[in-house]
Amino acid sequence: MRDLLPRWKDSGPDYRKVHPAPDNDLERGDPGKGDLGLPNGLGKGISLEKKERPVLITWGVRAAVIVALTVLTSSQGIFIAFSKKAGQYDYSVSTANLMVELTKCGISVVTLSRVWQVEGVTEDNRLLTSWGELLLYPIPALLYLVKNMLQYYIFIYVDPPSYQVLKNLNVITTGILFSIFLRKRLSSVQWSALLLLALGCTTAQLTSGAESVFETSLPGLLMAVLMAILSGAAGVYTELIIKRRIQRSIHVQNFYLYAFGILFNGILVAAYDAENVRKKGFFHGYTGFTVVMIVNHALSGIAVSLVMKFADNIVKVYSTSVAMLLTTLLSIPLFGFKLTVPFVLGSAVVGIATFLHSQNPYRGELARVLSPMSPPKLAKQLKS
């Protein structure tokens, strides 16, 4: 049973015998100050001193959020394609992104209000918080915003086939940043699996024009690497702030994340699309498929945060990679896509990489709390 419980302050000698001191500051924290170890005093006010309820995250919870993320992500490309007219966006992409953030925030508020009705307002689910905690949340929103802006400019230097290959760099950067900032040691098998995953995704996306990636200019390569770093950093940072206070309601954490997403996307609309919105209207060009696409993106974003809470960034990388393959398979009956040898081989490599990763769980107490457990193992630990 002890492997299912996170560390918290305890005065009993038996507890200290079976729970040695944490190996690093991330697991230990600073109970006296509630500091996350971030610069400029960020994170102060998030106290870890009190005893918290034990966290029991079963294999079923993890499986549910991972499957949800995979299914929702795999259908994103389909709905985006259906929302176009003659291959073009008849609506404003920036307003659609803003609507996604508004939808996510609205869903979080509705879900949180339901939690308040059932559980009442508690320390863990109230919206009132300290400035130290609140100021952590705009950082990932800013990282994603810069990354999304670069996505428009990279095509000046990189053609679409090369971009599809280069964007798989985020698999590697996520693994590196995950190990550095979350301090979870990946085994040699797990690193090999990540490399295989990147290779498999790249192989599956090879087209007749993909060899042009070797002719990509230096600015294009630098932008691709920067986008990969920003994507990995935003994901890892989000997981860090979500898991530092594991008892904090995910709906409250989502509300903070999406509120800043609304702020920054609103600024983007005002800066780049204000004239178009003023002349044509905010919802110009929206269709039923546009609305479905927005809802799908919103639910996918919420699924990502749940994976961050109950799993981790590496699981998210594998999930989205599998989703990419599912999107291609769905494109066969919908858009007449034909299977290619690179896609079949790449899919096989992705499957092998996923299997290798699943057979090598992380080390460390935090990893045990958040690692999947089969029903027999769970039942055995509950009896202990």
Over pLDDT 70: what percentage of the chain?
76
Confidence of residue 51 (pLDDT cuts 50, 70, 90): very low
pLDDT at 8: 37
- As for how many domains the chain has, the answer is 1
Please state, in angstroms and as integers, the Cα–Cα distance from residue 56 to each residue in 31, 59, 145, 177, 320, following that order: 22, 10, 34, 27, 25
Q: For the segment 186-205, what is each residue's pLDDT rounded down to a tens digit?
A: 889 999 999 999 999 888 87
pLDDT of residue 335: 78
pLDDT of residue 300: 92
pLDDT tops 50 at residue 52: no
Residue 375 pLDDT greater than 80, yes or no: no
Q: Is the pLDDT of residue 340 over 90?
A: no
93 pLDDT more than 60: yes
Q: Residue 367's pLDDT is what?
A: 38
pLDDT of residue 13: 42
Give the range among 215-224, 250-259, 313-322 with minimum mean pLDDT.
215-224
pTM of the model: 0.74
85 pLDDT higher than 70? yes
For 348-358, letters b (16+ CB in 10 Å) and e give: ebbeebbebbe
Residue span of the structural domain in which 175 resides = 2-383
Q: Dihedral through CA 84, CA 305, CA 369, CA 24, nearest 10?
A: 110
Mean pLDDT of the chain: 78
pLDDT category at 172 given cuts 50, 70, 90 is very high
- Which range has the worst mean pLDDT, 27-31, 255-259, 323-327? 27-31
More reliable by pLDDT, 373 or 55:
55
pLDDT, residue 107, reads 96
Per-residue pLDDT, 323: 87
For residue range 279-316, list pLDDT tens digits in order: 999 999 999 999 999 999 999 999 999 998 888 899 99
CB atoms < 10 A from the CB of 246, how many? Answer: 18
- Top mean-pLDDT range of 77-86, 224-233, 322-331: 224-233
What does the pLDDT look like over 23-49, one tens digit per residue? 444 444 443 444 444 445 444 444 433
Across 80-89, 144-153, 191-200, 355-364, least confident range: 355-364
Residue, of 375 and 184, whose pLDDT is higher:
184
Provide mean pLDDT across the span 112-130: 91
With a pLDDT cut of 90, the percent of the chain lying above it is: 34
Q: Which has the minimum average pLDDT: 50-54, 126-130, 138-142, 344-348?
A: 50-54
Q: Tell me, what's the pLDDT at 362? A: 59
